[in-house]
Structure 1
Amino acid sequence: MQKRTPIYIQIHNQLHEMIHDGYWKVGDRIPSERDLAIRFDVSRMTVRQAVQTLVEEGILERRVGAGTFVSAEKVQEKMSTFQSFTEIISQQGQKPSSKVVSYHVKPASNSEAEKLHLEENAEVLQMERIRYADGTPICLEVASIPYHMVSSLSKKQVTQSLYHTLETEKGISLERAEQTISATLASERVAELLDMKRGEAILRLRQVSYSKDNTPFEYVRTQYAGERFEFYVEGSGDKKR
Structure 2
Amino acid sequence: MESPVYIQIHNQLKRDIEGGKWKVGDRIPAERELAIQFDVSRMTLRQAIQTLVDEGILERRVGSGTYVANQKVQEVASGVTSFTDIMRRQGKKPSSKTISYHFATPSLSEIEKLHLSGDTPEVLRMERIRYADGVPISFEVASIPADIVQGLTKAEVTDSFYHALETKGGYELGGAQQTVSAETASERIAEYLDIKRGEAILKMRQITFLQDGRPFEYVRTQYAGERFEFYLER
Quickly name the TM-score band, shorter chain normalised: over 0.9
1:17 aligns with 2:5: no
Matches of residues 1-241 of structure 1 in structure 2 within 5 Å?
3-80=1-78, 82-119=80-117, 121-235=120-234
Length-normalised TM-score, structure 1: 0.93
User: How far apart, in 2, do the equivalents of 1:82 and 1:166 lie?
Assistant: 13
1:89 deviates by 1.5
**Contact 1:81-1:233 within 8 A present in 2 as well:** no
User: How far apart, in 2, do the equivalents of 1:193 and 1:234 lie?
Assistant: 30
Superposed structure 1 runs of 4+ greater than 4 Å apart: none
Q: SS where residue 202 of structure 1 aligns?
A: strand
Aligned length: 233
1:110-160: CA deviation from partner (whole Å, max 9, x where unpaired): 000101011252110011110111111000011100012213322111111
**Contact 2:80-2:208 within 8 A present in 1 as well:** no
Length-normalised TM-score, structure 2: 0.95
User: How far apart, in 2, do the equivalents of 1:196 and 1:176 lie?
Assistant: 32
What stretches of structure 1 of length at least 5 have no aligned partner?
Answer: 236-241
Q: Cα RMSD between the aligned structures?
A: 1.3
Amino acid at match of 1:146: P
Amino acid at match of 1:170: G
Q: SS where residue 128 of structure 1 aligns?
A: strand
Question: 42-51 or 112-121, which moves further after superposition?
Answer: 112-121
Distance 1:196 1:157, change over 3 A: same
1:203-234: CA deviation from partner (whole Å, max 9, x where unpaired): 01111111111111111110001111100112
1:164 deviates by 1.7
1:73-106: CA deviation from partner (whole Å, max 9, x where unpaired): 1123444454221122222221111111110111
**Contact 1:29-1:70 within 8 A present in 2 as well:** yes
What stretches of structure 2 of length at least 5 have no aligned partner?
Answer: none
Using the aligned pairs only, state the percent identity: 65
Amino acid at match of 2:136: P
Question: 159-168 or 209-218, which moves further after superposition?
Answer: 159-168
Distance 1:188 1:36, change over 3 A: same
